[in-house]
Structure 1
Amino acid sequence: MKLSKKIFLGSIAGILILGAGFSVSQQLKSTPITAATTSNNNTLKLVHGAYVYNKKGRRLKKYCGSWSNTHLRKGTNVQYSGTIQPIEKDSKQYYLLNDDNYNQSWLPYKKIKGKYYYSIGHGGYINAANVNEIDGQPL
């Protein structure tokens, strides 16, 4: 192959690679902005990877019609079902660390086979020990 053809093909390959790089970087910048706006609205943030369980404490093989929904990765935000309720001070429950030390609150959870689980709706539960934040407030 002639040198001019090699240079021409190399420049086309370079342009294609740079074009793909710009489109990927633009997509990555737009995704976290949408996730950040919904992070404080009924969400649990995971500190460890978590599996989805049923009301009997058994791991689900499918959740919401998919196998991939049964394992949730560290750092993901998951929608929960229920409402945050006030509790007494110095309670033995998982509670939210608010700035106000006198008014503490908690998200009700369910005890199944000696472990505590938060309900995420559609018959799914997540182990409470895997949750780091609720609505942006640490546990």
Structure 2
Amino acid sequence: MLKRLRNTLFALAALLSFTALAATPNTVSAASSSKYTPKYIKRQVVLQLNCNSYVYDRYGNRMPWFNGLYGPLGYLKKDSYVYTTRNRIERTDKDVRYFTLFTKYHVTKYNYGFVGKKYWLPYKKINGHYFYYIGYGAYIKARNVSSVNGLLQYSNGEKAMLTMSGYPFTFDSKTKKIKDLTKIYKAGKYVVVDGLRQFTASDGIYFRDADQPVYARLKGTGHGTTGTYVDIAALRKKDANVFYWDIEDGPSPKECRINLVDID
């Protein structure tokens, strides 16, 4: 009796496995960039991965199988493309965590420049992490995505710890005024960064070195022309490496995989 029950359970498990694989024939593919064409983008949302990525279910558990991936060691490879069942990205003006910018060159009679419109692929928060639904009950972490339909994906804020105490400063790019704050930020404090910028001599700061330092804007302190900044050198390196790398340090470290907006 027990032997017959065991054989029945094994047969059922095999059937479920086959059914799951049959239902997801072409959802995920590690296609080369030469095969990735705009024609494919028009039909469905395509994600490119910035690192190896596991596949999860709606509860945040790793899926035991998915389209040829089996067990805890099965994952989608870095730089591969994920062909989701979503058919479009959505225009938004919200301060969403992950988004893309569709940028075009804009010319008027008196001015010219680049105009960016924000789009996003709706995500779901599971167990404190953000996930994209790719279809057939499967999810991948949004943080593991480098581009959506060929557009770079950005984050609206990444957490980092200060390793040096110091005074942050505010800057207004219209008035070119810089003001040091009187409140010191002590080492060990965590901040959330939403953008990076380099100042020039015309911004009101004089640098002896041609290699200008990079400053990180603190989230919630301003958008566009204003903001409060700290030197990126004051941030813990393992945190900053996620969204920034110094070209003098050589090739980008493997953990550098989150894009922040470059502030003009």
From the two aligned structures, give the one with the greater helix fraction: 1
Q: 2:81 aligns with which of 74, 77, 81?
A: 77
Unaligned runs of 5+ in 1: 1-30
- The letter of the residue matching 2:142 is A
Which secondary structure state, in structure 1, belongs to the residue aligned with residue 103 of structure 2? coil
The answer to whether structure 1 residue 94 and structure 2 residue 98 are counterparts is yes
Change (3 A) 1:92 1:38: closer
Aligned positions of 1:1-139 closer than 5 A: 32=32, 35-37=35-37, 41=41, 42-64=45-67, 66-67=69-70, 70-82=74-86, 83-88=88-93, 91-99=95-103, 101=115, 103-139=117-153
Once the two structures are superposed, residues 37-93 of structure 1 have per-residue CA deviations (whole angstroms, 9 ceiling, x without a partner) of 36851210000000000000000110136528941000000012333111116x142
| Partner residue, 1:17 | none
- Are the aligned partners of 1:80 and 1:118 in contact in 2 as well (CA < 8 Å)? no
**Aligned residue pairs, count:** 108
TM-score normalised over the length of structure 1: 0.67
Aligned-pair identity in percent equals: 32
Runs of 4 or more above 4 Å deviation: 31-34
CA distance in 1, matches of 2:67, 2:129: 23
CA distance in 2, matches of 1:40, 1:138: 17
Unaligned runs of 5+ in 2: 1-30, 105-114, 154-264
Once the two structures are superposed, residues 14-41 of structure 1 have per-residue CA deviations (whole angstroms, 9 ceiling, x without a partner) of xxxxxxxxxxxxxxxxx84762336851
- The letter of the residue matching 1:88 is D
CA distance in 1, matches of 2:125, 2:67: 23
CA distance in 2, matches of 1:34, 1:95: 25
